[in-house]
């Protein structure tokens, strides 16, 4: 039998990466779909009347091996892909989409689910069981179970097409990212670039048998060049290459794919009785409606725009004074912002990096998790890795009980998409009295070690690590009965709270003292640097807020209205950016064609949730600060009501149990320096 078709007999039932071959996936997934169908048939053919146990609970625990195998496969397709895996993904995705429809459009199954749902008030269900019943019923009703047969057929076709379009979108972005190289042969063209970034660029060139230096679109290469390189023309060249991914009118072009995804999502929403895709999505979010999202973003825009315009004018004047720049362009943004920040705060990321050796930052995150939640992390080599660079850990509680298995993957590779994310290889759940623990992973693209230096993180990379680690803690500390309600299976505008709140510890003296030591001397980060980090935390916050709002508005412009009349992706984007525009437009660039969050990931109609969750996180951290950032009582409350509950209870109810009241947006505005 194919290794993927059976329960894994590995340590902690971890994914047997070393034994899996690419060719195992398609036959295994095909067979596991059939096995799951058989499990569902046994539910629908049950002669007994439908009950919560024999229908809702039984359905919840079907297809567990299929879920495990598909999560392994799609995680690899993001973190360690190749042409073969991408080809399999194109075959597997429509199969899974079709199978998903087979379940939600199964009339007999829905009849049983509805029978239980209709008598829910007479059943003695606890909070979690009630939520599971609600979610199961909605997973049918929101996905076409009440449609007539002809419309169900249309829905199946749309879902199959959308799954392939999203894959193609992501593959094109990855191919574009990997295809671009800026080959530099004159050292003068690297003036301003930090030594570590130069060394990394030289090593990359050497690895490809080239003289000189190579700069790529991977973040650890792209961001230092845009921030420090004095050569304005090369910054322009790199920025334009970054901004035109999927916007070339060639075989990797994403314009038509963007239009098709937006239109098919809208058609699908209409089919299900919703006005727009955003109306469909937001019904299952804290925000509930597109109007709430737009009001939230525009209210924030009103408060942030005056600050952003003032900051932009200051930056313009600074660039004019420094280099006689008449027109500030997008490729000047990071460069002059960094120069101005150095001038105002005497704070340079290059001065900070020696204090943020990757291994020290990891240890710091672990220590903070131990102080707050009593967790212990032990690196192990007894489970398989999908790449030699991946680190693997056993996570235990203060009694030595297993809490989670944890994978961490930190450096860019050709088969890995850009950015940073947390994912799950196995969810937590309780079955037959056994609390089955989760397998959690974070994937990042940080500065690699060079021949002369270890991996030294920028402060932005430090906060990214803490952010993803916050998501990981949400997954690790899950303690629910049902896998579909476990860990990060929460409303999308609540999921960023645990990650964003975690970033706050990076700015606190008591936390930095735990890990910010010079990689050569062991000297603790000087307190004046800590003060400067805190002072500079709100530097250009108005412009940063405007940027995030612009992404949220772009998302809503694609998904919060009827897109059928849109024919030009770029024109649509310019319209969406009108109210947030600071820099002149770059004709060759288009954001939508590489906006993976909304066209490939799960953030369609949900990009606003980053700012929404910032309101929650600022308010939550204010509570920690009032009581002490390592206060056990507050940490225990956060663990009990937020981190362990998953999606078992409405998030606002959970938040109020933790905080004692609803979140106040003033905390965010105050922290951002937008109000006094």
At 38 the pLDDT is 98
- Indicate the SS3 state at residue 435: strand
H helix runs in 244-392, sequence order: 255-271, 277-282, 290-323, 333-345, 349-352, 358-373
pLDDT at 246: 97
- Gap between the Cα atoms of 158 and 168, Å rounded: 15
| Average predicted confidence (pLDDT) for the chain | 95
At 672, the pLDDT band (50, 70, 90 cuts) reads confident
Q: 159 and 100 in contact (C-beta within 8 Å)?
A: yes
Residue with tokens 């997954």: 475
Phi-psi region of 346 (alpha: psi -120 to 50; beta: other; left: phi over 0): left
pLDDT at position 498 over 90: yes
CA distance 504 to 477: 19
Active-site choice (57, 171, 338, 468): 468
Decide if 143 contacts 106 (C-beta within 8 A).
Answer: no
pLDDT of residue 411: 96
Indicate the SS3 state at residue 440. Answer: strand
pLDDT surpassing 80 at residue 582: yes
For the chain, give every residue range classified as CATH 1.10.1370.40: 354-537
Token code pair at residue 330: 């997008």
CB 182 within 8 A of CB 215: yes
Q: How far is CA 227 from CA 136, 194, 631, in A?
A: 48, 10, 38
Confirm whether pTM is higher than 0.85. Answer: yes
Q: Is the CB of residue 227 less than 8 Å from the CB of residue 239?
A: no
Q: Give the CATH class of 3-146.
A: mainly alpha
Dihedral of the alpha carbons of 502, 504, 509, 511, in degrees to the nearest 10: 0
The pLDDT of residue 349: 82
pLDDT above 90: residue 540: yes
**8 A C-beta contact, residue 440 and residue 475:** yes
Domain with CATH 1.20.1050.40 in the chain: 3-146
R_g of the chain, CA atoms, integer Å:
25
User: Tokens 């999505």 correspond to what residue?
Assistant: 281
- What is the Cα–Cα distance from 306 to 300, expressed in whole angstroms? 11
Quick check: 306 pLDDT over 90?
yes
For residue 673, what pLDDT is reported?
82
* Cα–Cα–Cα angle for 624, 551, 290, rounded to 5 degrees: 85
Candidates 3.60.10.10, 3.90.660.10, 3.40.50.1000, 1.10.1370.40; CATH matching 354-537: 1.10.1370.40
**Is residue 355 a contact partner of residue 516, using CB atoms and an 8 Å limit?**
yes
Residue whose structure tokens are 């009347």: 49
Give the model confidence (pLDDT) of 106-163 as tens digits. 999 999 999 999 999 999 999 999 999 999 999 999 999 999 999 999 999 999 999 9
Per-residue pLDDT tens over the stretch 160-204: 999 999 999 999 999 999 999 999 999 999 999 999 899 999 999
Rounded to whole angstroms, the Cα distance separating 399 from 404 reads 14
Band (492; pLDDT cuts 50, 70, 90): confident
How far apart are the C-alpha atoms of 675 and 334, rounded to whole Å?
Answer: 25
pLDDT band at 493 (very low <50, low <70, confident <90, very high): confident
Annotation marks residue 311 as catalytic: no
Supply the pLDDT for residue 350. 85
Distance CA 436, CA 481 (A): 9
Residue 418 has pLDDT above 90, yes or no: no
Q: Read off the pLDDT of each residue in 456-480 and give the average, rounded to a whole number.
A: 97
pLDDT of residue 372: 98
Number of H helices and E strands in the chain, helices first, is 27, 9
Residue in the structure block whose two tokens are 């009349």 = 565
Q: What pLDDT score was predicted for residue 315?
A: 98
Query: Would you tell me how many other CB atoms lie within 10 Å of the CB of residue 499?
Result: 23
Question: CB neighbours of 166 closer than 8 A, spacing ≥ 6?
Answer: 93, 261, 599, 600
85: Cβ contacts below 8 Å, ≥ 6 apart: 22, 25, 73, 76, 77
Q: Is the pLDDT of residue 271 over 90?
A: yes
> Three-state SS across 358-407?
HHHHHHHHHHHHHHHHCCEEEECCCCCCCCCCCEEEEEECCCCCEEEEEE
646: alpha, beta or left, given left = phi > 0 and alpha = psi -120 to 50? left
């Amino acid at each position: 039998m194919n290794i993927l078709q059976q329960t894994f007999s590995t340590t902690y039932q971890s994914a047997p990466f070393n034994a899996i071959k690419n060719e195992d996936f398609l036959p295994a997934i095909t067979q596991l779909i059939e096995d799951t169908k058989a499990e569902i048939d046994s539910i629908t053919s049950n002669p007994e009347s439908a009950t919560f146990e024999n229908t809702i609970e039984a359905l919840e625990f079907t297809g567990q091996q299929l879920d495990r195998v598909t999560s392994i496969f799609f995680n690899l397709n993001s973190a360690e892909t190749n042409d073969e895996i991408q080809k399999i993904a194109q075959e597997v995705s429509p199969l899974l989409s079709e199978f998903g429809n087979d379940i939600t459009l199964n009339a007999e199954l829905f009849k049983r689910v509805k029978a239980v749902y209709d008598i829910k008030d007479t059943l003695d269900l606890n909070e979690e069981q009630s939520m599971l019943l609600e979610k199961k019923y909605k997973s049918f009703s929101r996905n076409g179970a009440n449609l007539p047969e002809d419309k169900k057929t249309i829905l199946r076709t749309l879902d199959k097409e959308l799954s392939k379009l999203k894959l193609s979108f992501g593959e094109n972005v990855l191919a574009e990212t990997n295809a671009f190289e800026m080959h530099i042969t004159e050292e003068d063209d690297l003036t301003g670039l930090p030594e570590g970034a130069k060394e990394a660029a030289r090593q990359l060139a050497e690895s490809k048998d080239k003289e000189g230096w190579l700069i790529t679109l991977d973040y650890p290469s792209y961001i230092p060049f845009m921030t420090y390189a004095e050569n304005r023309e090369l910054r322009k060249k790199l920025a334009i290459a970054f901004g035109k991914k999927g916007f070339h009118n060639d075989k990797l072009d994403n314009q038509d794919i963007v239009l098709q995804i937006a239109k098919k999502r809208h058609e699908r929403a209409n089919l299900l009785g919703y006005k727009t895709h955003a109306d469909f999505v937001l019904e299952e979010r804290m925000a509930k409606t597109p109007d709430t999202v737009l009001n939230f973003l525009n209210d924030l825009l009103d408060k942030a725009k005056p600050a952003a315009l003032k900051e932009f004018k200051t930056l313009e004047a600074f660039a004019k004074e420094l280099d006689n720049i008449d027109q500030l362009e997008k490729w000047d943004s990071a460069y002059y912002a960094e120069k101005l920040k150095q001038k105002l705060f005497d704070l340079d990321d290059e001065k900070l990096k020696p204090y943020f050796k990757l291994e020290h930052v990891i240890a710091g995150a672990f220590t903070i998790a131990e102080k707050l939640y009593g967790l212990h992390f032990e690196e192990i080599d007894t489970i398989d890795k999908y790449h030699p660079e991946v680190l693997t850990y056993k996570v235990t509680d203060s009694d030595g009980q297993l809490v989670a298995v944890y994978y961490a993957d930190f450096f860019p590779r050709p088969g890995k998409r850009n950015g940073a994310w947390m994912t799950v290889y196995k969810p937590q759940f309780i079955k037959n009295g056994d609390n089955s623990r989760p397998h959690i992973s974070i994937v990042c693209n940080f500065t690699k070690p060079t021949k002369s230096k270890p991996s030294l993180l920028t402060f932005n990379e430090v906060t990214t690590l803490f952010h993803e680690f916050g998501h990981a803690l949400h997954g690790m500390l899950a303690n629910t009965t049902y896998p579909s309600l476990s860990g990060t299976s929460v409303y999308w505008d609540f999921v960023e709270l645990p990650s964003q709140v975690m970033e706050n510890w990076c700015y606190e003296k008591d936390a930095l003292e735990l890990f910010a030591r010079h990689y050569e001397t062991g000297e603790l980060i000087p307190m004046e640097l800590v003060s400067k980090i805190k002072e500079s935390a709100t530097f250009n916050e108005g412009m940063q807020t405007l940027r995030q709002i612009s992404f949220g508005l772009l998302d809503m412009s694609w998904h919060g209205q009827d897109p059928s009349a849109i024919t030009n992706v770029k024109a649509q984007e310019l319209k969406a950016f009108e109210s947030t525009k600071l820099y002149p437009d770059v004709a060759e660039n288009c954001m939508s064609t590489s906006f993976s969050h909304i066209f490939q990931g799960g953030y369609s109609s949900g990009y606003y949730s980053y700012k929404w969750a910032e309101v929650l996180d600022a308010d939550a951290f204010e509570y920690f600060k009032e009581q002490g950032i390592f206060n056990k009582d507050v940490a225990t409350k956060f663990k009990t009501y937020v981190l362990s509950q998953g999606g078992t209870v409405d998030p606002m109810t959970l938040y109020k149990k933790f905080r004692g009241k609803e979140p106040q947006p003033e905390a965010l505005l105050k922290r951002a320096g937008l109000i006094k």
